[in-house]
Amino acid sequence: MGRTLVSAIIAAHSSQEAMEGEICQVKVDFAFANDITGAPAAASFLEMGAEKVFDPQRCAFLPDHFTPNKDIASAEQTKNGREFAKKQGMLYWEVGRVGIEHAFLPEQGYILPGDIIIGADSHTCTGGALGALSTGVGSTDLAAVWALGETWLKVPPTIRVEFKGKRPSWITGKDMILSLIGRISVQGARYMALEFGGEGIEDLPMDDRFTIANMAVEAGAKTGLFVPDGKTLEYARSRAARSFTPLYPDRDASYVRTEIFDFEEMTPVAAMPHSPDNVKPVRECGSPEIDQVFIGACTNGRLRDIEAAAKMMEGKKVADGVRCIVIPASYEVYNAAMDKGYLRTFTEAGAVVCTPTCGPCLGGHMGILAAGERCVSTSNRNFVGRMGSPKSELILASPLTAAASAVTGRLTDPRDVASAEFFNTLEGK
């Protein structure tokens, strides 16, 4: 039987056969950490006796979770990571010039088709949108990669995920990945790869693909990969920081199974508390009242997400008693949204716009929930206490659903706020 995409990538980085289930030693193309995981990785690096990272241009430290520094502890931790990165000559970007790592690194061309990418963050799988084997590890494992430029990977079995038909404009990448997680559960792809393809994604914008790959880990997957196509290569070639070689699955690749979704049967969905697989059509969720809306995160803070939310809120106001927090994922997104007038749209509606940061997504800062509060969020996890008090509730949804909910004050299907003609304005690259 032929290779899946993940098997092909591992084989290209290893001297071993790289068949399913085999543990392989692989060369790593790029390895990075953030302001939470970077300092522990640096400490482990020094404890193991390492002196120099394997390649300073392939190792990076990005402050993005608690930055701008929210307190003394986060300032000290960021300082430790910064000093290590500068001493090593690693890639480093200061606050004001960076963004959320999983949005910023693809923009800067450091994650590319055919790569093996290792990051000390579970949502490193976002890079799979570019046809890379991109996966998260702990800080100690990352330290070893920084030292050696290598790691080990067990070749995972693969679930093929295909979308059929023409995607309606009100169905976003977030609806697509939540629908998958709702079907297979948060453990449905445990230590497997999700390989996305099918006719239905041929016109799917890259921003939506990043959203889908980002939440592969919410299904338990080791990684989630899109088979490279013309959109992938156009994006990568226009940004690449180094040469790359895209890889592809064989026509006779062997899959555990294939999950097929028909766009004609899909509808805007939401993941209700307290699990990403507690997924229902938005219109079947009972329209619960909300206290806050968060539009951003590494899941949905890209330009297409910001644009969709801004257009939904244009000429409207955030409902009384509701807070709406908008955080673009990078300065590329922030500046483009500013140039297009989207940031003004938000502030005129009564929302607050913040500098690129993870912020409230992990319960960090800039929007923590109090006991009894409920938030509709475009982030990726809604576990108990994820965004603040363990007595708060978090609903995951698309930027369209989040923006519609912000103006109504309750969880709302975007089709109940905007006309069919409105959704035709959302088509984009």
Q: What is the 3-state secondary structure (H, E, C) of 352-395?
A: EECCCCCHHHHCCCCCCECCCCEEEECCCCCCCCCCECCCCEEE
Residue type, 267: T
Considering just the CA atoms, what is the radius of gyration of the chain in Å?
Answer: 20
Would you say the CATH fold of 270-426 matches that of 5-261? yes
The pair of structure tokens assigned to 116 is 């093996």
- Asked if pLDDT for residue 365 goes beyond 90, the answer is yes
Q: How many CB atoms lie within 10 A of CB 373?
A: 18
Specify burial of residue 364 (Cβ count, 10 A radius: 0-12, 13-18, 19+).
buried
- Asked if pLDDT for residue 410 goes beyond 60, the answer is yes
- Asked if pLDDT for residue 232 goes beyond 50, the answer is yes
Secondary structure E strands in 68-157: 91-92, 116-119, 133-136, 150-154
Give the pLDDT of residue 429.
46
Question: In residues, how long is the chain?
Answer: 429
Helix (H) or strand (E) holding 7: helix 5-12
For tokens 């090593």, what's the residue?
Answer: 88
- Asked if pLDDT for residue 428 goes beyond 70, the answer is no
Residue type, 13: H
Q: DSSP label at 206?
A: H
Alpha-carbon distance 235 to 423, whole Å? 24
Q: For residue 259, give the nearest of 176, 324, 368, 345 by alpha carbon.
A: 176
Secondary structure E strands in 165-318: 193-197, 223-226, 257-262, 269-271, 279-281, 292-295
- Distance from CA of residue 419 to its chain's centroid? 29
The pair of structure tokens assigned to 169 is 């404009």
pLDDT tens sequence across 235-288: 999 999 999 999 999 999 999 999 999 999 999 999 999 999 999 999 999 999
The pair of structure tokens assigned to 201 is 């994604």
pLDDT tens sequence across 377-387: 999 999 999 99
Q: For residue 150, give the nearest of 53, 7, 46 by alpha carbon.
A: 53
Please state at what angle helix 303-313 crosses helix 206-214, rounded to 10 degrees.
Answer: 100
* Residue 133 near residue 139 (C-beta atoms within 8 A): no
Residues 6+ apart with CB under 8 A from 276: 178, 181, 186, 215, 218, 380, 381, 382, 396
Q: For domain 270-426, give the CATH number.
A: 3.30.499.10
Alpha-carbon distance 24 to 51, whole Å? 25
* Residue 400 near residue 393 (C-beta atoms within 8 A): no
Alpha-carbon distance 367 to 377, whole Å? 11
Percent of the chain exceeding pLDDT 90 equals 96
Average pLDDT taken over every residue of the chain:
96
pLDDT tens sequence across 274-326: 999 999 999 999 999 999 999 999 999 999 999 999 999 999 999 999 999 99
Q: For residue 182, give the nearest of 416, 401, 397, 373 by alpha carbon.
A: 397
The pair of structure tokens assigned to 221 is 């997957």
Query: Which fold, 5-261?
Result: Aconitase; domain 3 (3.30.499)
Residues 6+ apart with CB under 8 A from 339: none
CA angle 221, 227, 232 (to 5 degrees): 115
Give the pLDDT of residue 371.
98
* Residue 301 near residue 353 (C-beta atoms within 8 A): no
pLDDT tens sequence across 142-154: 999 999 999 999 9
Per-domain residue ranges for the chain? 5-261, 270-426
In angstroms, the Cα distances linking 325 to 98, 147, 339, 351 are 20, 39, 19, 6
Alpha-carbon distance 20 to 258, whole Å? 17
Give the pLDDT of residue 244.
97
Give the pLDDT of residue 427.
64
Q: For residue 134, give the nearest of 114, 108, 162 by alpha carbon.
A: 114
The pair of structure tokens assigned to 207 is 């921003």
- Asked if pLDDT for residue 1 goes beyond 80, the answer is no
How close are the terminal C-alpha atoms of the chain, in Å? 35
